Amino acid sequence: MKLSRTEEALMNLLWEQKQAFLKDLVDAYPDPKPAPTTVATLLKRMAEKGYVAYRTHGRSREYYPTVSKKAYFAGHFNKLIANFFNDSTAQFASFFTREADLSREQLEELKSLIEEEIKKK
């Protein structure tokens, strides 16, 4: 299940804080801050989707992510490659390197990263 944009924004705050109470999350938003009830509803939906869990401290809940930021975005990236590039990383790389208008230096940096990964395998 995918997170909505508003859920992703809240998830980013939770990834930054690693664990937080509702008040901490509301305070972390830029102005104008959402209502605590709105954030509580988002947290409830995110917990139902399996992205967030909580520990109870008296009457308060301390929320924490159950999925790492890296794993979440890796999943999106893999779906993008599967859906738009026929599950071909080569097609993705070809599109990315041609359409992203990368400089020679950026391409060299990518080449170095790929070469390093090849050496590791």
Please provide the average confidence, as pLDDT, over all residues in the chain: 94
Instruction: Residue 12: name the closest of 77, 61, 50, 69 by CA.
Output: 69
Model confidence pLDDT, tens digit, residues 25-66? 999 999 999 999 999 999 999 999 999 999 999 999 999 999
The pLDDT > 70 percentage for the chain reads: 100
Which residues belong to CATH 1.10.10.10 in the chain? 5-65
Q: Report the phi/psi class of residue 86: left, alpha or beta, with left for phi > 0 and alpha for psi in -120 to 50.
A: left
Rg (CA), the chain: 19
pTM as predicted: 0.78
β-bridge partners, 62: 21, 55
Name the pLDDT band for 96 (thresholds 50, 70, 90). confident
Helix (H) or strand (E) holding 86: none
Domain 5-65 has CATH 3.30.465.10: no
